[in-house]
Amino acid sequence: MTHKKRIFRKRFFLLIPLFLGLMLISAWLFFLTLISPLDLAQTQTQTFVIPKGQAVGVIANRLQEAGLIKNALALRFIAKKDGLANKIQAGSFDLSPSMSTEEIAHELTQGTYDLWITIPEGWRREEIADSLAKQELEAFSKEEFLSLTVGQEGKLFPDTYLVPRQISTDQLVRMLKQTFEKKIIKGLEKDFGASKYSLNQVITMASIVEREAKGYEQMRRVAGVLWRRIEIGMALQVDASLQYVKGYDSAQDSWWVTPTAEDKKLTSVYNTYKFPGLPPAPIANPGYDAIKATLNPIDNGDLFYIHDQAGEAHFAQTLEQHNANVDKYLRK
């Protein structure tokens, strides 16, 4: 090997580390560019909501689409590098394009000012008020809620909601009613259009079905029984209506205590043992399945049903069959 070739080879090998170093520096500078603020001048924040259980990759893509970060992969890299993947929380966050990707990633782990509240299906408005009063809602008033919801039983849609801790009582009530409008009035518009019953009749029946049955198919069959009773002028005779009349029982700390034989004599238009037809208004707030089932009942010609100790429903077309079910499933 000539002297010139040896010098060239030596210089070549000396240049490799320099070249690699320049490559690393360029890559690092490029990465810093990717995680730098999208727009330093745009300091106005926007609310970014993360649902429960949403994956980091999905969150990163949404942040990029929302114009809050430059690159979704950069946020995923930071989340992995800093161990943030399992620390990012559900809720709403005030974020700005003037924040760096790293700042945003860490902001998502700092907690949220929002609160998840769940309103179960079949609760009456007093139960909802009691539950909300126990939440960390800074501006909630139980008395105001009850005042604002007079006549709104059945339209306070049961669901899981993400709300600001500072939400007012009025805003909360409007949110429940708006969700009812969206999911029921609009969502089941075709079903209501095909029904011969009014909105109030459907929601009233659904509120009873919600309390009397479990599971969509069972709800459909119970609805079929109760609508058939309405059609032939037979009293509904449902315990849930008696429970509504009786209200809160302090001894059992419940709004839905088992009625007695004496309760069937209560003088109330909600007493479906004493007065045929539907009650004048809903007895609770039914969920989507109960309303859907009420609009799409299964009519097998049954007029009676009971629930055994396991909650399984048993149906009958005649009183004789019904009494046989009672003997078989309830008098063991």
Local confidence band at 28 (pLDDT 50, 70, 90 cut-offs): very low
Question: Is it the case that residue 289 has pLDDT exceeding 60?
Answer: yes
- pLDDT, average across residues 117-133: 96
- pLDDT, average across residues 93-110: 86
- Predicted confidence at residue 9, as pLDDT, reads 57
- pLDDT, average across residues 272-276: 94
Q: What is the per-residue pLDDT across 252-264, written as a single tens digit (0 to 9) for each? A: 999 999 999 999 9
Q: What is the per-residue pLDDT across 212-258, written as a single tens digit (0 to 9) for each? A: 999 999 999 999 999 999 999 999 999 999 999 999 999 999 999 99
Mean pLDDT, rounded, of the chain: 88
E strand or H helix that includes residue 50 = strand 46-50
- The model's pTM is 0.74
Quickly tell me which residue has 């010139």 as its tokens. Answer: 4
Q: Could you give the CA distance from residue 166 to residue 143 in angstroms, rounded to a whole number?
A: 17
Asked if residue 38 lies in contact with residue 69, where contact means CB atoms within 8 angstroms, the answer is yes
- Predicted confidence at residue 275, as pLDDT, reads 93
Question: Is it the case that residue 26 has pLDDT exceeding 60?
Answer: no
Local confidence band at 81 (pLDDT 50, 70, 90 cut-offs): confident
207 versus 86: the higher-pLDDT residue is 207
Question: Which two structure tokens, joined as six digits, stand for 197?
Answer: 């019953």
70 versus 26: the higher-pLDDT residue is 70
Q: Could you give the CA distance from residue 274 to residue 284 in angstroms, rounded to a whole number?
A: 20
> Domains in the chain, please, with CATH?
38-112 (3.30.1490.480), 114-185 (no CATH), 196-329 (no CATH)
CA nearest to 254, candidates 139, 126, 141: 126
Local confidence band at 20 (pLDDT 50, 70, 90 cut-offs): low
Length of the chain: 332
Q: How far is CA 269 from the centre of its chain?
A: 32
Question: Is it the case that residue 139 has pLDDT exceeding 50?
Answer: yes
Residues 6+ apart with CB under 8 A from 81: none
- Predicted confidence at residue 143, as pLDDT, reads 97
CA nearest to 173, candidates 200, 155, 199: 155
Using DSSP, state whether 304 is helix, strand or coil: strand
- Predicted confidence at residue 23, as pLDDT, reads 58
Burial grade of 105 (CB within 10 A; 0-12, 13-18, 19 or more): buried
Question: Is it the case that residue 332 has pLDDT exceeding 70?
Answer: no
- pLDDT, average across residues 159-180: 93
- DSSP tag of 265: G
Alpha-carbon dihedral angle through residues 235, 236, 239, 240, given to the nearest 10 degrees? -130
CA nearest to 132, candidates 122, 118, 121: 118
Asked if residue 66 lies in contact with residue 48, where contact means CB atoms within 8 angstroms, the answer is yes
Q: Torsions phi, psi of 277, nearest 5?
A: 90, 180
Q: Which residues pair with 91 in a beta bridge?
A: 50
Weakest mean pLDDT among 89-103, 276-290, 307-321? 89-103
Local confidence band at 29 (pLDDT 50, 70, 90 cut-offs): very low
Question: Is it the case that residue 124 has pLDDT exceeding 60?
Answer: yes
Local confidence band at 18 (pLDDT 50, 70, 90 cut-offs): low
- Predicted confidence at residue 25, as pLDDT, reads 56
Q: Could you give the CA distance from residue 296 to residue 298 in angstroms, rounded to a whole number?
A: 7
- DSSP tag of 299: -
- Predicted confidence at residue 270, as pLDDT, reads 96
Local confidence band at 31 (pLDDT 50, 70, 90 cut-offs): very low
